Structure 1
Amino acid sequence: MNTGQSIGVFDSGYGGLTVFKSIARQLPQYNYIYLGDNARSPYGDHSFETIYQYTLECVEWLFEQGCPLVILACNTASAKALRSIQQKVLPLKYPNHRVLGVIRPTAEVLGQFTNKKTVGVMGTRGTVNSLSYPMEINKFFPELKVVQQACPMWVPLIENNEHLNPGADYFVQKYLDELLEKDADIDCILLACTHYPLLIPKLQAILPSGIELLGQADIVANSLELYLENHPEMVVRLGLQGKRQFFTSGDRQAFDQHANIFFGEEVQSEQMHLKC
């Protein structure tokens, strides 16, 4: 018997909307609740403990709203909080709930996109410093060399809607050059932050030929579809009205204006009040 619950999609800000867009397009029948923790965004430069605290608070809030399944559509949260939540919190407090991330689904398929067995990973400082991608990719493709590059200015540029302006060109070129200087064999670059797809037009304009630029949105949507096919016990708990709700811990008007850019359609959000 279907209980009408929702799939939760969480990000520290707007970037997760790029993932949610692909998920909603591929699996439109389900009910969804999106939560952006914009009041405390970006997460990238925070400590492990802070990111874990913030992520857990938002995940538990989504559980309270009736989401038995939550997707961390945030690389930093996936890198620094997912495993602890899965291993320490869910078994004790929420044994019938599940939390999934974006790193493992990406790592499972990344080897398919490189011929030279050398991939570049561009992400926030938090994601890069966690070493989550090299470790996870090694489980599936131990032959791959993973070269990482932190891009600390990209999220602020995107969240302030400056990413397509000429002023952003310097930082786009800077981080790309720094990555490619580390290894000449890189032939695939993973954008390991859900904000970064908004920079694809600028990146493609300066990317050397023979290098593939890879986003995560469709990969995560495909992985979620496969997960639901393999877990019918979860599917029966989910509503099939195609309902979508959006919440932000920040300013609603600002969220709605930015969300249109990331999600591709008008959004009307509601306020999520932080406990502290």
Structure 2
Amino acid sequence: MNAQKNAIGIFDSGFGGLTVFKAIAEKLPDYNYIYLGDNARSPYGDHSFDTVYQYTLECVEWLFKQGCPLVILACNTASAKALRSIQQLDLPKKYPNRRVLGVIRPTAEVIGEMSKSKSIGVLGTRGTVKSESYLIEINKFFPDVEVYQQSCPMWVPLIENDEHESEGADYFVKKYIDELLEQSPAIDTILLACTHYPLLAPKIEEVISEQVKLVAQGEIVASSLVDYLARHPEIENLLARDAQQTFYTSGDTQIFNAHASVFLGTTLEAKPMR
């Protein structure tokens, strides 16, 4: 599978964005896609705002050079710490005809409708939680909704080391869920605000009640992208439709291929980012 110009670029600091890529590709199968995982510098969750912005910009610009007119930041940390700066500072000056979208705003636009109690829990990396991006964005669309956050620093390492199905993962799943629910017994909707976290969904569902709705972002982001392309024909018309999918990583390709199969449920052959 060779990289195709005019593809939709999908970026993540590692593997988690593959859950978003999978949902988008299922909903829009005819388009070309280039996925880039910055695995050599992953995870982004504990890096400073400036560092995440610099790393994300470098990867976005790399995708632009591959011919992508549109890039999706399929990473909550990058969306929280870098998206606004890229949109407001870099695109107008250097790339006025390119677009970069994130995963936070599409989620914030609909998550409030899913909660009957108007109490939502957000599980994310330290970086996403510290940014308070979900508090800010959800409040814009649903000012009557209370948002409670919980960082889960051990979840990404567990997933990326293939320990997410182990008994050791049980402890950290229950620990962070308990800490979130202790903030408010009214929480009836929990958002997985990291694209890695859907792999822990079966364990999470074991420790929450049936009345609590667990929300992953893939389907939400995919539906939002369909709507975006319908509203922006100037971008949609630039996109090629050869159903080509190409994967790149800044890290070891063999390691990427092995881990990626867990997220996608199929094998792939990634190329080194150069």
CA distance in 1, matches of 2:84, 2:98: 14
TM-score by length of 2: 0.98
3-state DSSP class of the match of 1:233?
A: helix
Aligned to 1:131: 132
Please tell me the residue identity of whatever aligns with 1:93: K
1:64-122 C-alpha deviation (Å, 9 max, x unpaired):
00001000000000000000000000000000000000000000001111000000000
CA distance in 2, matches of 1:133, 1:4: 33
3-state DSSP class of the match of 2:34?
A: strand
- Alignment partner of 1:159 is 2:160: yes
CA distance in 2, matches of 1:233, 1:240: 15
1:62/1:70 contact within 8 Å kept: yes
CA distance in 2, matches of 1:135, 1:167: 34
Any gaps of 5 or more consecutive residues in structure 1?
A: none
CA distance in 2, matches of 1:149, 1:197: 16
1:105/1:220 contact within 8 Å kept: yes
Please tell me the residue identity of whatever aligns with 2:127: G
1:220-271 C-alpha deviation (Å, 9 max, x unpaired):
0000000001111111111100000000000000000110111121111000
2:5/2:66 contact within 8 Å kept: no
Higher mean displacement: 186-195 or 201-210 = 201-210
Aligned to 2:75: 74
User: How many angstroms does 1:4 deviate by?
Assistant: 5.1
CA distance in 2, matches of 1:212, 1:231: 32
Higher mean displacement: 264-273 or 215-224 = 264-273
Aligned to 1:183: 184
CA distance in 1, matches of 2:210, 2:64: 45
CA distance in 1, matches of 2:43, 2:23: 22
Aligned to 1:108: 109
Higher mean displacement: 92-101 or 229-238 = 229-238
CA distance in 2, matches of 1:252, 1:244: 16
Please tell me the residue identity of whatever aligns with 1:129: K
3-state DSSP class of the match of 1:197?
A: helix
User: Structure 2 matches for 1:186-205, cutoff 5 A?
Assistant: 186-205=187-206
1:141-174 C-alpha deviation (Å, 9 max, x unpaired):
0000000000000000000010011111110000
1:15/1:194 contact within 8 Å kept: yes
CA distance in 1, matches of 2:266, 2:92: 37
Report % sequence identity: 66
1:4/1:240 contact within 8 Å kept: no
1:4/1:237 contact within 8 Å kept: no
3-state DSSP class of the match of 2:153?
A: coil
Aligned to 1:5: 6
CA distance in 1, matches of 2:80, 2:5: 30
1:13-41 C-alpha deviation (Å, 9 max, x unpaired):
00000000000000001000000000000
Aligned to 1:226: 227
3-state DSSP class of the match of 2:86?
A: helix
Aligned residues, how many? 271
CA distance in 2, matches of 1:148, 1:84: 23
CA distance in 2, matches of 1:184, 1:73: 30
3-state DSSP class of the match of 1:33?
A: strand
1:7/1:69 contact within 8 Å kept: yes
User: How many angstroms does 1:140 deviate by?
Assistant: 0.3
Aligned to 1:119: 120
4+ residue segments displaced more than 3 Å: none
- Alignment partner of 1:170 is 2:166: no
CA distance in 2, matches of 1:187, 1:121: 11
Please tell me the residue identity of whatever aligns with 2:74: A
User: How many angstroms does 1:209 deviate by?
Assistant: 2.7
TM-score by length of 1: 0.97
3-state DSSP class of the match of 2:182?
A: helix
Q: CA RMSD in A?
A: 0.9
3-state DSSP class of the match of 1:182?
A: coil
